[in-house]
Structures are given as structure tokens and as C-alpha cells.
A and B are shown apart, each in its own frame.
Chain A
């Protein structure tokens, strides 16, 4: 099983500042990584797939980078609606054995 480790567990950032979230894979997954945002009481929402491609309707302040085992989600200028929990997810294997990271909570400083 491919294990995804996200860091930090909680990130405190002020509105308007930049946030950088990390996701590390236990083995090479090329660019087969997605990022999701989840707000309380809601389902996760796809932000990024292919490590760096924004999903439809996702603002340009969200960007993803990385390949192999190290990945980063950056929110360039935090808005109030961006404070949420963020998950990474890999889809490297076929037949599928998809896994998620444990999440990073982005909170207001």
C-alpha cells in the first residue's frame, strides 16, 4: 500500500498570507496525485489533479507542484473561505489501490 504523509497536521496562517502544504508518498507515484478541500459538514471537493492541474472553477490562487514522492499545495493569498482541511490522494496503481493522506487543517492565525 502506498502511504501518503501530510505535513503539518495543522497550519495557522493569517488571511492574505501564503500557505504551503506538503504531501509525501512512500514510493514514486509520478504525478498521480490529487488534492481535495473539505469544509465542516461537506464532502471533499477536488482542487488539483495530475499534481498540478486545477479542477474546473478552482481559483488561480491554488497551485500544486511536485512529482515522484514530494508534493506541495500552495494557496498564494488566503481568503476566509480557504480555511478548511486539505487532503492529498494518490491514484498510481492499476488495479487501483487508492489512498488518501491524513489531512492538514488550515486554520486562521
Chain B
């Protein structure tokens, strides 16, 4: 089973861009049976699926993000990333990178807390 580790700044200013990276170890990101996902958890909104990316670059996003999100993959580094622009306090959350395969989120990173504050 692959392991996932999130990394990135823990504090972002309002209106700026949140950037996180997930490093995949113990297996290749170049596999056709997984989607590489981001999910966040905040006290106000609970668990929220942000979106995911296939190794080919195909992406799907939660419509509620109103096109603020962008997920990319770097197969040479075995990483995938999330960028969320125009952040507000409502984007403060624990962000998880998660493997989605066979119709289930069955492998989660430990999560990283991102606070949006000036």
C-alpha cells in the first residue's frame, strides 16, 4: 500500500493562493487504477471532497469551489499538488491527500492544517 505525505505552508494570507504537495511513496503514481485526491476538513463544513487527478492529468473538482482549485501531477517526482486561489477564512482546514480507487477513499495521508489569516 502506498504512503502519502502532505507538505506546504501552514499559514496563508486572505486572497492569496494556498499550495500543497502530496508525496507518494511505496508505489508509482503512474497507475491506472487510482485517482489522486484532496479532501479537507473544517469545523464549519466537515469533510469536503475537493477534487482528484488521474495520472494522465484528467481532473475533476467539487463544483462548490467555483473554479478556485487546481490539481496537478508531477510523475517524475511521484507527487501531486493542490492550488486553491483567492482563499478566505472559510478555507481554513486540515487538508488530506487521499487515494481513490475501486470506488473508495481507502488510503489517507496524515493531513496538514492550513490556516487562512492575515
- What secondary structure prevails in chain A residues at the interface with B? loop
Shortest beta-carbon distance from B51 to chain A in Å: 8
Interface residue count on the B side (C-beta < 8 Å): 18
Stretch at the interface among B13-21, B67-75, B103-111: B103-111
Contact A34 B108 (CB under 8 A): no
Q: What residues on B are CB-neighbors of A97 within 8 Å?
A: 62-63
Contact A96 B60 (CB under 8 A): yes
Stretch at the interface among B23-31, B41-49, B83-91: B41-49
Contact B47 A89 (CB under 8 A): yes
CB-CB contacts below 8 Å: A69-96 with B: 87, 89, 91, 95-96
Interface residue count on the A side (C-beta < 8 Å): 24
- List chain A positions with a Cβ less than 8 A from chain B: 1, 32, 34, 36, 42-46, 49-50, 55, 87, 89, 91, 95-103
- List chain B positions with a Cβ less than 8 A from chain A: 46-49, 52, 60, 62-64, 96, 103-106, 108-111
Closest 5 CB pairs of A and B: A43-B108, A100-B47, A98-B49, A49-B104, A46-B106
